[in-house]
Amino acid sequence: MHIEVKNLNKHFGSFHAIKDVNFSITKGHLVGLIGPSGGGKTSILRMLSGLESPTTGDIYFDGKLATHLPVQDRGIGFVFQSYALFKHMTVFDNVAYGLKVLKKPKDFIHDRVTYLLNLMGLAGNERKYPHQLSGGQRQRVAFARALAPEPQLLLLDEPFAAIDAKIRKELRLWLRNLIDEFKVTTLFVTHDQDEAIEVADEIILVQGGKIEQQGSPWEIYTQPASSFVASFIGESNVISQYTPLIGFPYLDEIQQDGKWLQDVNVLIRPESIEVRPHDVSHLATAGEKGKVTHVHFRGDSWYLEIDTGALKLFAYQSVKEKIYQPGDEVNILINHISVFTKTENIVIENQAKQDPLPVFI
């Protein structure tokens, strides 16, 4: 189902929780709705579901007005953070519930429930009760129950929040495959930006009741619309008091629309920073000197904290490369920085790096 939301507003008493939100979701896409706590994610989901009415604005399903359609007529499946399974029903009866409400024939229900439980890796658990399952299994039952009546839209509100990190990583890949199999339009609320980057076709980032940016994970990561987006998605060094770095201009040397830049945030992604030993001369001419202050092992990389005097930066180092110790002197080559003004993100390349290297005869 194609979803379109137009000028959506929600007031709770005098509190303006959702402020003129507009977005659309392509049929069959999995969209990640992310943002800080209190941003409005659940409120948007509840308005799409019909559990909450918008104060103003409209919702269209496949081009048809659906703003005030009753919940049961929307063709929606839900999965929430807390396993809202029926405690006194078996796994089979939980999954069969929506089909019984629709008065489907008994044989049909049996076949559909069996098919879904097989797909979820839950065959053999039909007669168990929710308390006899692990958290991951319960959540898979919740997905089977939501998918049983063939919903046109699946709404997921932090479905993996109560599940530990390793199982959660497995479940997110499983979810991606599940959505591909069912081709059901899905809106997936998560706090976890990595989860959204990995599984979503598109991300909608909300903050303070407004959409900050909508785009593919790649677009949002590489072309963030604001310093807030850049620091929310992926990791960044955020520099509010910018003093020029080697290879980069003073801010008052950069003009935008005939005006000198001021009131900006500078961000440096850790992956744009190269760290090398002190005696590598070509980095010395284009880079900063620094001292390693902390080293943390992250399994697939080292996380280095470096003090340049003017700045404290963090950078990654591959596990295959030299292992630094706190106190080591290093050269840091910053390949580019992002300068965020109120309206724009300007990416500036390191000029010193482009200069010809000195030739020694």
207 binds Mg ion (CB under 5 A): no
Choosing from 18, 23, 31, 42, the residue that interacts with Mg ion (CB under 5 A) is 42
**351 SS3 class:** helix
Binding characters for ligand ATP, 182-201, by CB under 6 A (x = yes):
---------x----------
Size of residue set near Mg ion by CB under 5 A? 2
Choosing from 30, 31, 41, 268, the residue that interacts with ligand ATP (CB under 6 A) is 41
Q: How many CB atoms lie within 10 A of CB 211?
A: 22
350 binds ligand ATP (CB under 6 A): no
43 vs 125 by CB, closer to ligand ATP: 43
Decide if 79 contacts 159 (C-beta within 8 A): yes
Stretch that binds ligand ATP, among 31-39, 116-124, 260-268, 308-316 (CB under 6 A): 31-39
360 binds ligand ATP (CB under 6 A): no
10 vs 29 by CB, closer to ligand ATP: 10
Provide the pairing of β-strand 76-80 with 153-157.
parallel
Residue 40 binds: one of Mg ion, ligand ATP, none (C-beta under 5 to 8 A by kind): ligand ATP
> Which residue type sits at 30?
L
42 vs 94 by CB, closer to Mg ion: 42
Alpha-carbon distance 311 to 132, whole Å?
A: 53
Residue 39 binds: one of Mg ion, ligand ATP, none (C-beta under 5 to 8 A by kind): ligand ATP
State the helix-helix crossing angle for 135-147 and 165-182, rounded to 10 degrees.
20
17 vs 292 by CB, closer to ligand ATP: 17
15 binds ligand ATP (CB under 6 A): yes
In degrees and rounded to multiples of 5, residue 107 shows phi and psi of -65, -40
190 binds Mg ion (CB under 5 A): no
15 vs 360 by CB, closer to ligand ATP: 15
160 binds ligand ATP (CB under 6 A): no
CB of 58 to ligand ATP, least distance (A): 19
Q: Considering only residues 306-345, where is the footprint of ligand ATP by CB under 6 A?
A: none
Task: List helix spans (H) across the chain.
Answer: 41-49, 91-101, 106-119, 135-147, 165-182, 193-199, 217-222, 227-232, 281-286, 351-354
Size of residue set near ligand ATP by CB under 6 A? 12
43 binds ligand ATP (CB under 6 A): yes
**Token code pair at residue 207:** 């903050």
Establish how many alpha carbons lie within 13 A of residue 105's alpha carbon, considering only the half-sphere containing its beta carbon.
3
CB of 221 to ligand ATP, least distance (A): 21
Q: What is the CA radius of gyration of the chain?
A: 25
CA distances in angstroms from 254 to 228, 241, 307, 353, 354, listed in the order given: 22, 16, 26, 19, 18
203 binds ligand ATP (CB under 6 A): no
38 binds ligand ATP (CB under 6 A): yes
51 binds ligand ATP (CB under 6 A): no
Decide if 236 contacts 268 (C-beta within 8 A): yes
96 vs 200 by CB, closer to ligand ATP: 200
Residue 38 binds: one of ligand ATP, Mg ion, none (C-beta under 5 to 8 A by kind): ligand ATP
Number of H helices, E strands in the chain: 10, 21
**149 SS3 class:** coil
232 binds ligand ATP (CB under 6 A): no
Binding site for Mg ion (CB under 5 A): 41-42
Q: Which positions lie near ligand ATP, rule CB under 6 A?
A: 12, 15, 17, 35, 37-43, 191
